[in-house]
């Protein structure tokens, strides 16, 4: 057994290094994938995947950059084959141990995730795409513009666990979170401008189906894998969630980076920031320190950004699934109804977190809803 390398996913240069890497010498082969998909040429796609597939012994000697880039390229073809019907690894079972080793050496699932498909995917002539439609490129870019600040936002949220709402730095850091989350709203605007609902429903969504690897179904690279669910957990959902959303996000945890999984585990059983801020007002909200009031205001700002993002996302998703009812769930496993519930829960927690000075409200936690309520 070869030990897995320790990977610093926070290292700024990692993204550019993975984008530049081509350990499978796959550039010319990957460039043919859109044409093969246009023809529905499953045999050609399997041949392409076998042409670039590494030996397990080779993978065992690679570092993280090579492993991430290899999973990116193999994953694109896996999603392409599945789009046309067959289970890809039934047609190329010899690749199963290779994918498992790539997953082990990167401490991730044995399939490509949203990060492989977007953040670690080079822009420009080498961009890996399922189709030859530039709308797909705009979707990929909408994730790239979010990721750096989203990573920083999670770091700020993690640091808030050591601060009390009465500490002046609590409001400062939470205000930074609100600013760092703003690109999520901008990403939805980019999608609305450049991607039609029809393209996503018919042109891209079929490539994001789950594929079976050694008896386990793994989601394709869904945007839901971005850790907005972890932002929700930290801000409000850790102690004021509903059953359906909790089940949904637990299914996303395995597709996370190791640090995000650790953060999720550390949050387990504790209060959310909304719960802590409301509790900090105590029995007499009008006498609460100014620092606590500032913390509440910063929390509401962050929640309002999330509400804007969720609202725009819901609007786009509704248009997509009105066009095609083939799929009852999104590529990350969530339905439009679930998106609506998440939006409503976020709004309600923002409202209640912003009203702690009303008589009696300081001891009232943000509301829970049972699954199925709008």
pLDDT tens digits, 271-307: 989 889 888 887 777 788 899 889 988 998 999 899 8
What ranges do the domains of the chain cover? 14-132, 140-363
CA–CA gap between residue 83 and residue 178 (Å, rounded) = 38
Q: What stretches of 137-189 adopt beta strand conformation (E)?
A: none
Bigger pLDDT: 329 vs 188:
188
pTM: 0.87
pLDDT at 70 > cutoff 70: yes
Confirm or reject CATH 1.20.58.1320 for domain 14-132, answering yes or no: yes
Fold that domain 140-363 belongs to in CATH? Methane Monooxygenase Hydroxylase; Chain G, domain 1 (1.20.58)
pLDDT digits (tens, 9 = 90+) for 334-374: 445 654 555 565 556 655 555 554 433 333 333 333 333 23
pLDDT at 54 > cutoff 80: yes
Q: What are the distances in angstroms from CA 98 to CA 19, 58, 74?
A: 21, 9, 10
Instruction: Compute the average pLDDT of residues 141-170.
Output: 95
Bigger pLDDT: 327 vs 230:
230
pLDDT at 352: 57
CA–CA gap between residue 69 and residue 51 (Å, rounded) = 16
Contact by Cβ (8 Å): 291, 299:
no
Report which secondary-structure segment, H or E, holds 218: strand 216-218
């Amino acid at each position: 057994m070869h030990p897995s390398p320790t990977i610093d996913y926070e290292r700024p240069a990692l993204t550019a290094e993975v984008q530049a890497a081509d350990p499978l010498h796959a550039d010319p082969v990957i460039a043919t994938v859109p044409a093969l998909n246009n023809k529905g040429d499953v045999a050609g796609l399997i041949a392409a995947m076998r042409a670039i597939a590494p030996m397990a012994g080779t993978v065992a000697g690679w570092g993280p950059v090579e492993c991430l880039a290899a999973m990116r390229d193999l994953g694109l073809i896996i999603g392409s084959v599945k789009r046309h019907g067959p289970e890809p690894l039934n047609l190329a079972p010899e690749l199963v141990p290779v994918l498992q080793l790539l997953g082990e050496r990167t401490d991730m699932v044995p399939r490509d995730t949203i990060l492989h498909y977007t953040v670690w995917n080079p822009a420009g002539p080498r961009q890996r795409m399922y189709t030859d439609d530039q709308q797909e490129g705009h979707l990929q870019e909408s994730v790239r513009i979010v990721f750096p600040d989203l990573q920083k936002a999670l770091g700020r949220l993690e640091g808030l666990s050591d601060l009390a709402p009465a500490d002046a730095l609590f409001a400062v850091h939470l205000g930074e979170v609100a600013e760092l989350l703003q690109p999520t709203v901008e990403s939805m605007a980019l999608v609305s401008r450049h991607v039609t609902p029809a393209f996503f429903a018919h042109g891209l969504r079929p490539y994001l189906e789950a594929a079976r690897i050694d008896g386990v179904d793994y989601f394709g690279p869904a945007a839901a894998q971005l850790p907005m669910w972890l932002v929700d957990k930290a801000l409000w959902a850790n102690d004021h969630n509903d059953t359906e959303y909790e089940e949904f996000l637990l299914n996303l945890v395995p597709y996370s980076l190791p640090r995000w999984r650790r953060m999720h585990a550390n949050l387990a059983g504790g209060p959310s920031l909304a719960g802590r801020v409301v509790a900090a007002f105590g029995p007499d909200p009008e006498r609460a320190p100014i620092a606590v009031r500032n913390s509440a205001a910063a929390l509401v700002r962050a929640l309002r950004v999330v509400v804007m993002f969720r609202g725009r996302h819901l609007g786009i998703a509704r248009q997509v699934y009105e066009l095609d009812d083939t799929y009852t769930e999104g590529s990350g496993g969530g339905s439009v109804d679930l998106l609506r519930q998440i939006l409503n829960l976020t709004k309600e927690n923002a409202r209640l977190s912003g009203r702690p000075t009303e008589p009696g409200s300081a001891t009232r936690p943000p509301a829970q809803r049972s699954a199925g309520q709008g």
